[in-house]
Amino acid sequence: MAIKIEMPKLSDTMEEGVIAKWNISEGDKIEAGDVIAEVETDKATMEVEAFDPGTVLKILVGEGDAVPLGGIMAIVGEEGEDISDLLEEANNANGGASSSDSESEEKSSEKKSSDKSDKKEFDPILDDVESGKGKKEESSEKTSDDGRIKASPLARKMAEDKGISLTDVEGSGPDGRIIKRDIEDYKPSEAKKDSSVQVPSFASEEDEEIKISQMRKVIARRLSESKFNNPHFYETIDIDMEKAIKARAALNEISEVKISFNDIVVKASAMALRKHPEINSSWLGDVIRKHGDVNVAVAVAIDEGLMTPVLNHTDKKTLQQISAETRELAGLARDRKLQPEQMEGSTFTISNLGMFGIEEFTAIINPPNACILAVGAIRDVPVVKGGEVVPGKRMKVTLSSDHRIVDGAKAAQFLNTLRTMIENPLAMML
């Protein structure tokens, strides 16, 4: 009996996956446990294994295609087996026909598309129809029974890549279905007059359009939600780094792993969080959850965006443990090998741009955390000691806080505890 291979849920925030690579071809025989594909999620590129043996009868999506959760990626069974029912189910589950079906459909509809394009270009009453009575009828024609706009997977992908709303495109395929040619022939001026304001596009030959990755989409969505839904406020404090610099040098003479200034900030933050549980909290709508564990996430920059691996029970770890684990997680992040569980459960986040010479910045809170700490570079500055101006080493940190959870005084108290810890490194040993 033929079985379908569906897009699995590979992370807690995943809504769809992109086929990064197929390791199989139609006609291949596979066994349970074989790695059949690599899928790019919002957090990492992960391997997908087969659960059942059989022959690959049909691959329904190509590399680079996005597939919703539960969408059918391939069909496996016995050679020669009838899979027409599963193909129809896949068509409905994936929101359209397979790529091969779409291509044939598009070719058969070319003449119809051309006729419709001419009609649309020269019909003097089209704009009135679109902005008036005809709008409801057009909408019902363009959507299927479940409310989805009728469009081939290829057309959907092209529209997404070009930033075109399918609601603005007239379909020339069967029953008004939107196909490849409709997207190719689409002009922004054809959009409905009552649609949202169109941003003018000024393109030149030197411009480059880059496809938005799953990770970038999720970063954009989550941080936009955080910035606009969570009332941020910011407090900055200046920290004397003289003793921390000396302590780090001494520790690195005996430590098996190199301890960075960021490791010291992580350790000090974890200990300060234990003393200030309001900062180690989350807003859950009807309640505020004060977390029993201190799990610090460390922002790691990669080419595709930003990842935040989590150091669980950070307050209970030594500086050596923090250093070793941070390096390991950062390496996995840059190789896109982090597992979902390594990025879940954070209660506080630290973002450090000091290595780039950034002296001070503000960061957007990483939901569902209440706060995020932005760490700047260590600066050479003149300071007054004993009535004399002498060279000093200072570092600014800025705490972004969710005002629904944290008040200004509580944030200030946390920052003062953090400063005390860093300015007196021996306090972290107690």
Q: Which residues participate in catalysis according to the annotation? A: 403
Q: What tokens does 360 get?
A: 């001070």
Q: Is 238 helix (H, G, I), strand (E, B) or coil?
A: strand
The C-alpha atoms of residue 258 and residue 327 are separated, in whole angstroms, by 10
Strands (E), 7-100: 16-22, 29-30, 35-40, 45-49, 54-59, 66-68, 72-77
Classify strands 348-352 and 296-298 as parallel, antiparallel or unpaired.
Answer: parallel
Beta bridge mates, 384: 389
Q: What tokens does 158 get?
A: 């092209």
Q: What tokens does 119 get?
A: 């009609």
Nearest to 415 by CA among 429, 398, 403: 398
Asked if residues 310 and 343 have their Cβ atoms less than 8 Å apart, the reply is: yes
- Helix, strand and coil in the chain, % to nearest 5: 40, 25, 40
